[in-house]
Chain A
Amino acid sequence: MGDKQRIIPVWFFVGLLVLTYGILILASGIREWNDPPNVVLADLHASVWWGGFLTAVGAVYVIAFRPGRSRRED
């Protein structure tokens, strides 16, 4: 496989997907802050802090493994 050094690390794709989901969930959590969904323990606002957590994790992965940053095959 001659072009193997150009393959984008899988961790970048992981980061991208987690970041996207984090932002979407955080946004939906903030939107429904005053009108929480009909679930048990809705007052914990799980969407907000879990969405925030995913956003942070995703961002770290995207930045650390962005294409072209390193030639290391991971």
Chain B
Amino acid sequence: MAIIAIYFLAVLGIGFYLKNFAKSGEDFFLAGREMTAWVAGLSFLSANLGSLELLGWAGSAYQYGILAAHWYWIGAIPAMVFLGIVMMPFYYISKTHSVPGYLQLRYGEGASGVSAITFAVMTVLMSGVNMYAMAVVMKVVLGWNIHFSIWVSSLTVGIYVAMGGLFSAIFNEVLQFFLIWFGALLIPIIGLMETGGWAGMVARIRQNFPAQDYTHLWSTLGDFSSNPMGIHWTGVVFGLGAVISMGYWTTDFLVVQRVLSAKDLRSAKLAPIIGSFFKMAVPFIVILPGLLGLALLPFHLVPESAMQAGQHSYNEVLPLMMARYLGPGLLGLGITALVAGFMAGMAGNVSAFATVWTYDIYRAFLRKTAPDAHYVKMGRWCTIVGLIISIGTAYLVMGFASIMDYVQALFSFFIAPLFGTVLIGMLWKRATKAAGFWGLLLGVLSSLGMFLAQKLDPAALSIIALSEQAKPMAENMYRALWSCLVCVVVTVLVSLVTKPKPDADLNGLVYGATVLPKEEHATLFHKPIFWAGAAMAVWALLQWIFW
């Protein structure tokens, strides 16, 4: 497969080329802080658009229908806009390296330590999911040896991230962004030609699956039992829209780190907003192939855990659709897009892991003063170690029915409570050091506790997710919502009985104690707020079209 080989060579070549540009800590961990809004924005989106996203959400679209698109629309756009307009100034002005770094400044070591450790655990687990996703592709489309493909791709990622740090990760993410679009776009185009357009596709889905409505976004959410996900609209709006999505897009350091690499505050604000426009378009190459699978595949797919010989799982819907339409050359491009996505997802996770470990655990707790070069060296080694750990975690994923159920479960453990802590920290001067620590810790523990309770006694589902018909995804939404609420309530209560920091210490960290710099530009088309409004308008239109 010449196309795949060329890609590996190009990636290694770029890593080697960039090695000379990543000498200081700022270069290695923040790409020298000189990316334009476009590069930072595309990379921001790409870090999130790995092959995991492609496979996982196409599989979820097959399982849950168009409801999966909620994760791209209400589950992303408002949060990305909020990040750009409201939260970015604090991250950027405080000149932090990471989200735990921000918590260190705002709350001190306790909260920062908890978030750094949970974050490090989450990145290696996520990286393991990426590996598993890749193995699925290789198995379905090429019949390749899984171990071989995992090792070749992991080594490549390890080498290029260790050489160029975030520079490499970002360059390759931009490259991968184009590959994914060019590699995956043909599936929905040819698929819709085969079904005779959207109406033809909907008609075929109704014929194949008469019991459920797979093609409406909101109109089926009035009742737990009337949609394929078993969720009520409150779970989507509050659990997903208000907690999971806000938490992910505004505190997941993997994505925030990309925006921190922007060259100035305006670029940093604009980057997530540029990303949001592309994010809105992603369902076209991810959700639509899943729906086309419902309409066109001659057999029914099953959950991973219930799979028997000769059957295919939900997660295989995208590779199956590729094999249906693409001849050798194009198939090579499609596979390369997935390989690229897989590698970018891993690169993102390991580079974030390296940063958090080096700055927020190693430098914060183990070795406080060392020359910059020492930390860069540490970062390079962590990249390799993180990679090796994540190879080990790849097998954990097998126990979940679909990849995205696993990922969303992780988010509900770590990201949802973190969002509560960061948001209160940014908006409320009164929040104290002890409150940050206890709020975050109890939030994470309550989420893990709910997960275990449901595993030990399945009857707990009807309490946690408000309905015994809730599918894993719906349960994740509610668990996220409750754990974030636990975090917020504990943080507020503890704050009220402990002593706050003086205002002077909170400059640059909290609303009301910070003088935000004036923006230098004038024209409307250069203002982040204008584009934020435009993004929200397009988003609202999409909800209305697919209601």
- The residues of A with any CB-CB pair to B shorter than 8 Å are 1, 3-4, 7-8, 10-11, 13-14, 16-18, 20-21, 24-25, 27-29, 32, 36-37, 39-42, 44, 46-47, 50-51, 54, 57, 73-74
Contact = CB atoms under 8 A, between A and B. Distances in A.
A37 B333 contact: no
Interface string B178-222: 110010001000100110000000000000000000000000000
Nearest to B189: A46
A4 B34 contact: yes
Contacts of B326: 39, 46
A19 B32 CA distance: 29
A37 B328 contact: yes
Given A21-B3, A50-B186, A13 B329 contact: no
B39 A74 contact: yes
A40 B325 contact: yes
Interface string B9-36: 0100010011011011001000010101
Contact of B39 (A8, A10, A27, A46): A10
Contacts of A20: 6
B331 to A, nearest CB: 9
11 contacts: A1-B24, A16-B10, A17-B178, A21-B3, A21-B336, A37-B327, A37-B328, A40-B324, A46-B326, A47-B327, A50-B330
A46 B36 contact: no
Contacts of A57: 182
Nearest to A11: B174
B32 A14 contact: no
B175 interface: yes
A21 B3 CA distance: 7
B7 interface: yes
A1 B32 contact: yes
Contacts of B524: none
Given A21-B333, A28-B328, A44 B175 contact: no
Given A4-B32, A73-B36, A74-B39, A24 B171 contact: no
B306 interface: no
A42 B323 CA distance: 12
A46 B21 contact: no
A3 to B, nearest CB: 7
Nearest to A1: B32
A25 B175 contact: no
A3 B36 contact: no
A17 B186 contact: no
A41 B325 contact: yes
Contact of B10 (A13, A27, A47, A51): A13
B38 interface: yes
Interface in B305-331: 323-330
A13 B171 contact: yes
Contacts of A25: 329-330, 332-333
A32 B174 contact: no
Contact of A17 (B7, B24, B27): B7
Contacts of A50: 186, 330
B2 interface: yes
Contacts of A39: 323-327
Contact of A14 (B21, B23, B178, B336): B178
A1 B194 contact: no
B2 A47 contact: no
Given A13-B175, A17-B175, A54 B21 contact: no
Given A41-B190, A44-B193, A51-B329, A17 B179 contact: yes
Contact of A24 (B3, B18, B194): B3
Interface string B132-154: 00000000000000000000000
A34 to B, nearest CB: 13
Nearest to B326: A39
A44 B327 CA distance: 11
Contacts of A42: 327
A36 B328 CA distance: 10
Nearest to A27: B329
A24 to B, nearest CB: 6
A20 B329 CA distance: 12
Contacts of A7: 18, 21
Contacts of A8: 17
B24 to A, nearest CB: 7
Contacts of A14: 174-175, 178
Most chain A beta-carbon contacts within 10 A, residue among B34, B179, B329: B329
Contacts of A17: 6-7, 10, 175, 178-179
